[in-house]
């Protein structure tokens, strides 16, 4: 697809656990690799949960063998779904978020599955909070052929907008950029006066939004990009738009190794659609 960056050494990294609900995520990973023209790497993580002094070599061997068998089965399924080229298998040791994070160095994107509601400490939340690559968390349900991206007018959202625009271009979907501008607790002191003048606030934030989206309109002229600014809190604005999305794209507000921003965390926990968390580029 014209305008989409290519990484000749890149791949799609998929966290495979062999469960039935993981199949929807595998479908997404296969399609992601096909559209990007890169390899699919199937990664299964195994973890010995006890202290080192209680290691059992025989049990560890059984766990590794089970992981290898799961990966072999997953590879066959990926090929059935049309995975392009070679499907590589990777058996990684360690808790899943840590192991996938370590394995993601050259990945263009990481794909994992998730159940309806994410609990604190879940793989999807922990991985999204620490990863240096976009993490796509796939739910089983499908949505409209549309990417919805959250924007906040700051430099932090640029990477998320770029990822959203490239996904829309690859999939030939349209893109809806949503900005919930009522966030007085998150602005610098000199901007607080804006919230006493709703008309000025709307005018100022609309200009910021258009400036943020402008470069991506130029880069992806074939993608239909629509913007919406509302004087609502970001979470409220995104909740209203999320059901209209096949993919919801959010930034992490720059918290690359710590917790996600509150809006991204809430949306990732509760969204019914597939969500991508995109880390901000280094300054």
Distances (CA, A) of 246 to 25, 143, 222, 227: 13, 4, 19, 17
161 and 266, same domain (yes or no):
yes
25 and 97, same domain (yes or no):
yes
| CA distance linking residue 265 with residue 260, whole number of Å | 6
- Position 132 in a domain: no
Q: Which range (9-13, 19-23, 52-56, 95-99) has the least confidence? A: 52-56
- The boundaries of the domain holding residue 214 are 146-278
**What sign does the dihedral 221-222-223-228 (CA atoms) show?**
positive
The structure tokens listed for 19 are 């469960």
178 and 58, same domain (yes or no):
no
- The pairing of beta strand 135-138 with beta strand 274-278: antiparallel
268 and 152, same domain (yes or no):
yes
262 and 213, same domain (yes or no):
yes
Using one digit for the tens of pLDDT, what is the confidence trace for 114-144? 876 677 768 889 999 889 999 999 987 778 8
- Position 161 in a domain: yes
Residues 6+ apart with CB under 8 A from 130: 97, 101, 256, 257
- Position 75 in a domain: yes
**Is the pLDDT assigned to residue 6 strictly greater than 60?**
no
Using one digit for the tens of pLDDT, what is the confidence trace for 79-105? 999 998 889 999 999 899 999 999 999
Confidence at residue 85, expressed as pLDDT on a 0 to 100 scale: 86
Per-residue b or e along 58-76, where b marks 16 or more CB atoms closer than 10 Å to that residue's CB: eeeeebeeebeebbeebbe
| CA distance linking residue 85 with residue 11, whole number of Å | 11
- Position 172 in a domain: yes
Confidence at residue 97, expressed as pLDDT on a 0 to 100 scale: 92
- Position 1 in a domain: no
Q: The domain that contains 247 carries what CATH number?
A: 3.40.50.12370
151 and 268, same domain (yes or no):
yes
98 and 166, same domain (yes or no):
no
- Position 171 in a domain: yes
Using one digit for the tens of pLDDT, what is the confidence trace for 154-204? 767 899 999 999 999 999 999 999 999 998 888 888 888 899 999 999 999
199 and 94, same domain (yes or no):
no
50 and 104, same domain (yes or no):
yes
Domain boundary among 97, 113, 129: 113
106 and 196, same domain (yes or no):
no
Residues 6+ apart with CB under 8 A from 7: 38, 106, 108
152 and 265, same domain (yes or no):
yes
How many structural domains does the chain have?
A: 2
Q: The domain that contains 103 carries what CATH number?
A: 3.40.50.620
- Position 127 in a domain: no
164 and 206, same domain (yes or no):
yes
Confidence at residue 19, expressed as pLDDT on a 0 to 100 scale: 87
Residue-averaged pLDDT of the chain: 88
DSSP 8-class letter at 227: E
From the list 172, 166, 187, the residue with the least C-alpha distance to 276 is 166
DSSP 8-class letter at 271: -
């Amino acid at each position: 697809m014209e305008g989409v960056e290519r990484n000749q050494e890149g791949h799609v990294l998929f966290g495979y656990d062999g469960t039935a609900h993981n199949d929807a995520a595998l479908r997404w990973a296969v399609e992601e690799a096909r559209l990007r023209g890169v390899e699919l790497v199937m990664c299964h993580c195994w973890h010995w949960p006890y202290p080192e002094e209680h290691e059992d070599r025989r049990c560890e061997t059984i766990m590794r063998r089970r992981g290898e068998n799961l990966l072999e089965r997953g590879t066959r399924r990926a090929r059935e779904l049309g995975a392009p080229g070679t499907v590589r298998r990777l058996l990684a040791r360690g808790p899943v978020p840590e192991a996938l994070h370590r394995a993601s160095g050259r990945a263009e994107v990481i794909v994992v599955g998730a159940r309806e509601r994410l609990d604190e400490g879940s793989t999807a939340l922990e991985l999204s909070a620490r990863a240096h690559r976009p993490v796509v968390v796939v739910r089983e349900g499908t949505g409209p052929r549309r990417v919805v991206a959250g924007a906040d007018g700051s430099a932090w959202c640029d990477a998320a907008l770029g990822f959203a625009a490239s996904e829309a271009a690859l999939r030939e979907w349209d893109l809806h950029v949503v900005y919930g501008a009522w966030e007085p607790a998150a602005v610098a002191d000199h901007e607080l006066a804006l919230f006493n003048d709703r008309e000025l606030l709307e005018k100022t934030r609309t200009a910021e939004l258009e400036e943020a989206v402008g470069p991506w309109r130029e880069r992806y002229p074939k993608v239909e990009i629509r913007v919406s600014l509302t004087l609502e809190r970001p979470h409220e604005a995104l909740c209203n738009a999320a059901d209209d999305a096949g993919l919801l794209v959010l930034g992490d507000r720059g918290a690359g190794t710590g917790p996600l921003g509150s809006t991204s965390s809430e949306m990732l926990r509760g969204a019914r659609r597939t969500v991508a968390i995109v880390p901000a580029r280094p300054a």
